[in-house]
């Protein structure tokens, strides 16, 4: 199939300012997507080789996890140079080729910006730690010890232990919400804000169409360094950090989620608007995620989209839980725009996390594409890949190494993409991959599923095409969500077109009273149910019904 046959180039399509609204975004974890150089690590040229495949899925954009220069202590989320490509991934010229090829295929390009912290190898931090009076002395969060030499407050790191690390050069502590080698930037400094806006401008000038903003609610800290209060046990959940991590024992009122962030996000939005770019922010908060999402996406001068962690949680969403989450969004983020995801590079793949059957995988894929909001799909999700079982001796993730065996880290969802089943590396690399390819993944490879018309990959293509063919599903309103037993239902509407959506989220049959009015069943290619003569809608296990109102 030729490139031109896949999608129209962006240059020949309308560049609508709201291209992001309702978009389907495909997340690429570059270390594990495609190795073109034979070193066992994925790279930018490898992504270029596979862009036609991504375009064939029908998605609107790609989001590429960090590829910047980095010592890789946290695999690229510890940036040592924001404006260059790490040699293991290629060069700036390779990135330019990626953007050009993606645009020719009709794909927009979003990159992962990590603005809350850098690597301790970044030139900014190297200068900042030299003294208390150099030009970048206040670019990071430095604080005096308590009189007894202990850290300035009780803040904890997501990766375990205190969020403060002692530095003998300055005889002060610096803040790190993640690894000690990831010092937090001080965005209370106007110079830091300007530097970060310059970073965004650098990539916008190279043609990117937007950003995924890592830990968007961590940008600012409480300037007075107040202690976080304890969090009652009944309010704890493990959506942000595993239950074995004491991070869950605090209510994080002061180490993140600060009101000053809104002014900076407005500055970033103003910059992006000049390029027609958009951003999706990652809101990392176990208690107030949807509330913060609502704050950060309200109006037209903040972020276009944010995602919280409600559907990245361990528990499989029941009809009641889906209704609860969507009801909370309607209350807390009525003016905002969510971005939904079931899997990403930080959580157990939802095929395993929720122990889903093939039929359940299909109905959840259909559900997410019918929700009001945009959608993020994680590489391999369209194949139904389960979580890989990575042995301790093969672990790379410092998070998993720290909390093993109660928490195995994130490597199980980061193993290489499987393109074909003919060799032990799944077509990812000619060399030994940086993480082992799961043998359980090989029979789910792209090549094998492409040859099977009943495979999950084709369902994803159909449901993405279905979403794009109905304006209410892309950008329409959403009615109050109803949960009747195991069935979730709602109406999406745009103009005169109204679509009724119902999903049986159960392995048992269910019945639903038909909604008032005349409805025409649509989406036959998605395995939908059909109304019966008794006025009831009988849904099989894990079956949807989709219908358009007769006008």
- 419 vs 291: CA distance, rounded Å: 40
Give the other-Cβ count within 10 Å of 363's Cβ.
23
- 253 vs 265: CA distance, rounded Å: 19
User: CB-hemisphere CA count at 13 Å for 435?
Assistant: 26
- 352 vs 390: CA distance, rounded Å: 14
Give the other-Cβ count within 10 Å of 334's Cβ.
9
- 335 vs 325: CA distance, rounded Å: 16
Output the DSSP codes for 102-161.
HHHTT-EEEEEE--SB--TTSHHHHHHTT-SSSTTTTSB-EEPPPTTS--SS--B-TTSS
**Could you give the residue numbers annotated as active site?**
214, 282
- Distance, C-alpha 355 to centroid of its chain: 21
Give the other-Cβ count within 10 Å of 537's Cβ.
25
- 62 vs 41: CA distance, rounded Å: 19
Judged by DSSP in three states, 455 sits in coil
Q: Do 445 and 421 touch, CB atoms closer than 8 A?
A: yes
Burial of 414 by CB count in 10 Å (0-12 exposed, 13-18 middle, 19+ buried)? buried
User: CB-hemisphere CA count at 13 Å for 338?
Assistant: 29
Which residues contact residue 101 at a Cβ distance below 8 angstroms, ignoring those fewer than 6 apart? 3, 48, 51
Q: Do 11 and 296 touch, CB atoms closer than 8 A?
A: no
- From the list 376, 305, 374, the residue with the least C-alpha distance to 336 is 305
- 545 vs 502: CA distance, rounded Å: 5
- 177 vs 166: CA distance, rounded Å: 14
CA 203 → CA 13, 82, 348, distances in Å?
Answer: 22, 9, 31
Kindly report the backbone phi and psi dihedral angles of residue 168, in degrees, each rounded to the nearest multiple of 5, phi listed first: -70, -20
**Angle at which helices 289-297 and 319-332 pack, to 10 degrees?**
40
Give the other-Cβ count within 10 Å of 469's Cβ.
11
**Angle at which helices 190-205 and 261-273 pack, to 10 degrees?**
30
SS3 annotation, 18-56: CCCCCCEEEEECHHHCCCCCCCCCCCHHHHHHHHHHHHH
């Amino acid at each position: 199939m030729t490139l031109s046959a896949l999608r129209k180039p962006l240059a020949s399509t309308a560049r609508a300012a709201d291209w992001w609204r309702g978009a389907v975004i495909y997340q690429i974890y570059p270390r594990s997507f495609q190795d073109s150089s034979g070193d066992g690590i994925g790279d930018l040229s490898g992504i270029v080789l596979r862009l036609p495949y991504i375009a064939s899925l029908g998605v609107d954009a790609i989001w590429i996890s960090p590829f910047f220069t980095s010592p890789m202590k946290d695999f690229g989320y510890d940036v040592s140079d924001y404006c260059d490509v790490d040699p293991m991934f290629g060069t700036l010229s390779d990135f330019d080729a990626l953007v050009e090829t993606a645009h020719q295929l009709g794909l927009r390009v979003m990159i992962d910006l990590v603005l809350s912290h850098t690597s301790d190898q970044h030139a900014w931090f190297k200068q900042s730690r030299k003294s208390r009076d150099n030009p970048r002395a206040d670019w990071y969060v430095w604080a005096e010890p308590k009189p007894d030499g202990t850290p300035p407050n009780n803040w904890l790191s997501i990766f375990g232990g205190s969020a403060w690390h002692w530095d003998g050069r300055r005889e002060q502590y610096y803040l790190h919400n993640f690894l000690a080698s990831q010092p937090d930037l001080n965005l209370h400094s106007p110079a830091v804000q300007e530097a970060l806006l310059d970073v965004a401008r650098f990539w916008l000038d190279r043609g990117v169409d937007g950003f995924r903003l890592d830990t968007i609610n961590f940008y600012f800290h409480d300037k007075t360094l107040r202690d976080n209060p304890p969090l009652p046990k009944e309010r704890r959940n493990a959506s942000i950090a595993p239950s074995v991590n004491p991070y869950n024992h605090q209510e994080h009122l002061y180490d993140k989620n600060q009101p000053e962030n809104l002014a900076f996000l407005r500055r970033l939005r103003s910059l992006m608007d000049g390029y027609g770019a958009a951003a999706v922010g990652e809101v990392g908060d176990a208690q107030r995620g949807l509330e913060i999402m609502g704050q950060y996406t309200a109006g037209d001068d903040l972020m276009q989209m944010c995602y919280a962690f409600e559907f990245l949680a361990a528990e499989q969403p029941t009809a009641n839980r889906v209704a609860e989450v969507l009801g909370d969004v309607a209350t807390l983020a009525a003016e905002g725009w969510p971005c939904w995801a079931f899997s990403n590079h930080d959580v157990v793949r939802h095929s395993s996390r929720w122990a889903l059957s093939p039929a359940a995988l299909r109905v959840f894929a259909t559900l997410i594409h019918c929700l009001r909001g945009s959608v993020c799909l994680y590489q391999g999700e369209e194949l139904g890949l389960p979580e890989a079982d990575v042995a301790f001796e093969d672990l790379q993730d410092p998070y998993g190494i720290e909390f093993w065996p109660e928490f195995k880290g994130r490597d199980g969802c980061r193993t290489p993409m499987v393109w074909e089943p003919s060799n032990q590396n799944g077509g990812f690399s000619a060399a030994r991959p940086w993480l082992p390819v799961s043998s359980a993944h090989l029979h789910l490879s792209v090549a094998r599923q492409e040859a099977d018309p009943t495979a999950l990959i084709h369902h994803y293509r159909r449901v993405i095409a279905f979403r794009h063919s109905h304006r209410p599903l892309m950008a329409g309103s959403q009615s109050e969500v109803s949960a009747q037993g195991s069935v979730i239902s709602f109406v999406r509407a745009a103009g005169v077109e109204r679509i009724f959506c119902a999903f049986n989220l159960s392995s048992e049959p269910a019945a639903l009273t038909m909604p008032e009015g005349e409805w025409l069943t649509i989406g036959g290619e998605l395995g939908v149910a059909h109304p019966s003569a008794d006025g009831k809608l009988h849904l099989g296990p894990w079956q949807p019904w989709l219908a358009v109102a007769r006008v």
